[in-house]
Structure 1
Amino acid sequence: MRVGVIGGGQLARMMIPAAIELGVDLRVFAEADGMSAALAADRVGDYTEVAAVLDFAEQVDVVTFDHEHVPQDVLRALVDAGVAVRPGPDALRFAQDKLLMRERLSELGLPVPDWARVRTPAELDAFIADHGGTAVVKTPRGGYDGKGVRVVRSAAEVAEWFAAIAEDGRDGALLAEEKVEFRRELAQLVARRPSGEVAAWPLVETVQVGGVCSEVIAPAPRSAGRVADVAADIAIAVAEGVGVTGVLAVELFETTDDRVLVNELAMRPHNSGHWSMDGATTGQFEQHLRAVLDLPLGGTGTHRSWSVMVNILGGPEEGSLADRYAAAMAGHPTAKVHNYGKDPRPGRKVGHVTAVGDDLDEVVYEARAAAAVFQG
């Protein structure tokens, strides 16, 4: 079994141990030398070039992804050449374009914030006026970790985005959404294989700092019953409604008026699922490989009552993460450290720490304290 991963980031890196355990031959098409998944990168090139990607795909049984940025023309060329692409272009387009995603989720009758396609500053100002004087504006493509997202009170605050639309010369638009008042942010991960089997992990709570995920608590506290059931139903409906194969992450808002709304989608392993590597029967990276190979999915139950993941953002001011191993391991022997092999810079995810246990306060402390050893 040979799986090709397009993209050489940390998600591809974390598929490597899972592939080794399953006896899967994992090959990576990396964007540059020295990326996180360099251990398995047997090709370095431009993933927007059809010929290069087709040549890479000839040596594998199925192609999957570390990110959603491979252009549609490249994806379609792979399909036309008979390559198993999972998830396929028809699904990935909804992860690549937030406007298409909002349209499809609305067609499926799934709960989303009130939204509109805005092509001009006047349309945005009208939307803002209709929604209490504030709106969230997003660029349809390319945004992640808080990039391409602004909370605005006037269209003038995204004037350069409208200018870019005008320069593009196509029928461009921005996504305007109501500013949702929420208690907390949640995430529901599911996996789906081509034959239709779906498996869901426990609902998790995420903590965002500066638009970047900082912590994940699994399962989400105070989420037994209705909220957990609603979130799982939503994620399964999305997976089936857009035809996802592999892991799907659905980021959600739990609102102050007791709604559960879809915020974003990711059709790949996701930061909110890293806890599963140490805290679940089947981690998301093994599950993703099972799913794209159309193998039976693994159990998604937890080993202990709680798992907490804390991202390492930025890393040490001097030296490497490995230079801090002794201190972290001696002080927090129950914490698991995952190093992405990336050069640190402010705000960059360079690794994460996971702790598991049966006392939530203790688990949170261990994960935070171990991660703090690597910060600053």
Structure 2
Amino acid sequence: MMAPVATELGFELRVLAEAPDVSAVAAVANATVGDYRDLAVLADFAAGVDVLTFDHEHVPGEHLHALVEKGINVQPGPNALLHAQDKLVMRSAVDRLGLPNPRWAEVSDVRALTAFGDTTGWPVVLKTPRGGYDGKGVRIVEDAAAALDCTDWFGNGPLLVEEKVPFSRELSALVARTPGGSSRAWPVVHSIQVDGVCDEVIAPAQDLDPEIAAAAAAAALRLAEELEVTGVMAVELFETPGRGCGFLINELAMRPHNSGHWTMDGSVTGQFEQHLRAVLNLPLGDTALTSGAAVMKNFLGGENSDLFSAYPLALAAEPAVKVHTYGKSVRPGRKIGHVNVIGSTDELPALRRSAGRAAAIIRDGRDPMKEN
């Protein structure tokens, strides 16, 4: 998704891909296949670029420190990226900055997990500090008896346990920051999750108290500044009416993020262009909406394995919708693309129907509105 905007801006984008069939390989003219967990591979690749950045947080931090010591321009830097790699480090930083955190603890065994639940109240949420995404590495523990079934989760070191937050909806605050310290925020959005996976995003979040929206954006900008983040960062939030400032911080992602895909068509500057501007220390673009509202709808792998066969039907049914596919092979439950649609706030129900219909046609190869 960075490739088209890199071309528009006149940059050469190079990719280190873990396999030749990775979708990014087809999007760029210069792709190297290699293991990002191998320092020698990383060093060889990084030697030929002006700035090294990421589309995920899994590159080993010790390798990134070694690259920095060699004079490689790594953005975001390993000290910042650690807060997106390790949820225990992130929770500690949020506490240190005095920002709204759920109650949490580092636990090393079932006894500590049970003590936290007995003190905080059941159920609780158990998370692996590293490697989890889209609901993976997350377990809801209902009570002390269920905690006994979590013994096998403690084989690789301490875990993070959090209170199960009663929230009204999930929000996301997307920001970008340059190495020089300039930063911008997009409007706070409503992120709708299904089975732990982002399903739909509504921008801006409707009926959100302006004070909460401002505080959420300010918290994201402060995190970016204090942690010395560069590039795009998404701060996932729980809206908690009547508790504290009205939200709690859930997780961080230091890269373009699913909750920001709406910006590709709904904002003056999309998140992929902004990420490139930011890591290159260029002036950041305007983050205003291009219309009153935008809706992003993901589509996962479903019944239709040939997405292109559904394009004529989807594009004819919803001509205002913009389709973005990821070049990934189709398998059930895998994120393979999204659609965006923009319009006025008054049109929001219709925008959501349009996005949902187009996504369903591409996913299943048939029009759900004509099945009856």
TM-score, length of structure 1 as denominator length: 0.93
- 1:174-229 C-alpha deviation (Å, 9 max, x unpaired): 10101100000000000000110000000000000000000000000012511110
Number of corresponding residues? 355
Alignment match, 1:168: none
Work out which of the residue numbers 162, 168, 177 in structure 2 matches 1:192.
177
- 1:305-346 C-alpha deviation (Å, 9 max, x unpaired): 11000001114x243211111001111000000011111112
Q: Aligned-pair RMSD on alpha carbons? A: 1.0
| In structure 2, distance between residues paired with 1:16 and 1:86 | 17
Equivalent position amino acid for 1:329 in 2:
L
| In structure 2, distance between residues paired with 1:133 and 1:74 | 39
Alignment match, 1:81: 70
Equivalent position amino acid for 1:289 in 2:
L
After the TM superposition, which parts of structure 1 deviate over 3 Å for at least 4 consecutive aligned residues? none
Q: Does 1:131 align with 2:120?
A: yes
> For structure 1, which runs of at least 5 residues remain unmatched after alignment?
1-13, 166-171
Q: Does 1:71 align with 2:42?
A: no
What are the within-5 Å matches in structure 2 for residues 150-189 of structure 1? Answer: 150-152=139-141, 153-154=143-144, 155-162=147-154, 164-165=155-156, 172-189=157-174
> For structure 2, which runs of at least 5 residues remain unmatched after alignment?
365-372
Q: Does 1:299 align with 2:286?
A: yes
- 1:233-252 C-alpha deviation (Å, 9 max, x unpaired): 11001101111000000000
TM-score, length of structure 2 as denominator length: 0.94
Equivalent position amino acid for 1:67 in 2:
H
Shift, 1:257, TM fit: 2.6
Alignment match, 2:3: 16
Report if the CA contact (8 A) 1:181-1:256 is conserved: no
Report if the CA contact (8 A) 2:134-2:197 is conserved: yes
Alignment match, 2:327: 341
Equivalent position amino acid for 1:159 in 2:
T
Report if the CA contact (8 A) 1:235-1:250 is conserved: yes
- 1:224-283 C-alpha deviation (Å, 9 max, x unpaired): 511110110110011011110000000000014342100000000000000000000000
| In structure 1, distance between residues paired with 2:299 and 2:159 | 32
| In structure 2, distance between residues paired with 1:126 and 1:306 | 45
Equivalent position amino acid for 1:247 in 2:
V
Shift, 1:86, TM fit: 0.3
Equivalent position amino acid for 1:221 in 2:
Q
Report if the CA contact (8 A) 1:62-1:83 is conserved: yes
| In structure 1, distance between residues paired with 2:39 and 2:116 | 40
Equivalent position amino acid for 1:375 in 2:
R
Q: Secondary structure at the match of 1:145?
A: coil
Alignment match, 2:369: none
Shift, 1:296, TM fit: 0.1
Report if the CA contact (8 A) 1:276-1:283 is conserved: yes
Q: Secondary structure at the match of 2:52?
A: strand
What are the within-5 Å matches in structure 2 for residues 1-376 of structure 1? Answer: 14-39=1-26, 40=28, 42-152=31-141, 153-154=143-144, 155-162=147-154, 164-165=155-156, 172-258=157-243, 259-315=246-302, 317-358=303-344, 359-376=347-364
